[in-house]
Amino acid sequence: MNDLVFFTYPSCTSCRKAKHWLRAQNVSFKERHLFRETPTYEELMKILSLTTEGIDEILATRSQSFKKLNKNVEDLTVSEILKIIVDEPKLLKRPIITDGKKLIVGYNVSAFKNLTKKKTSA
């Protein structure tokens, strides 16, 4: 996972803004539709390993999808949470952008600049 991978959902405003920013900066990336090309359990483990805040960084606990689960995150193991996310990718915060070494969740221009600095200067 050395290339930039952009997990997105087209009707997500933050995803559209992030995509526009990346394209405006001529950053190449592989786009993955979160619901059509859902990250695998293994990919989610890799993404999770890049977080600084653990599962809280990628799990959209305020989403309607999460509320419908009627589960307490504290009562679940990481493995259980990741299996739920694979089945219900709407539970992920978005966009998710990674080069396999660093991770950005959400629309964050300063983080994009840091992550893409190497990608545009090559």
pLDDT tops 80 at residue 83? yes
Model confidence over 25-63: pLDDT tens digits? 999 999 999 999 999 999 999 999 999 999 999 999 888
Domain boundaries, the chain: 5-121
- 28 contacts 119 by C-beta, under 8 angstroms: yes
> Which CATH number does 5-121 carry?
3.40.30.10
Model confidence over 94-117: pLDDT tens digits? 999 999 999 999 999 999 998 877
Kindly name the residue from 1, 9, 12, 29 that is annotated as catalytic.
12
DSSP 8-state code for residue 98: E
- Beta-strand runs (E) in the chain: 5-8, 30-33, 96-98, 103-105
Per-residue confidence (pLDDT) for residue 119, from 0 to 100: 54
For the question of residue 12 being annotated catalytic, the response is yes
pTM, to two decimals: 0.87
- 28 contacts 116 by C-beta, under 8 angstroms: no
Q: Which two tokens stand for residue 68?
A: 């419908």
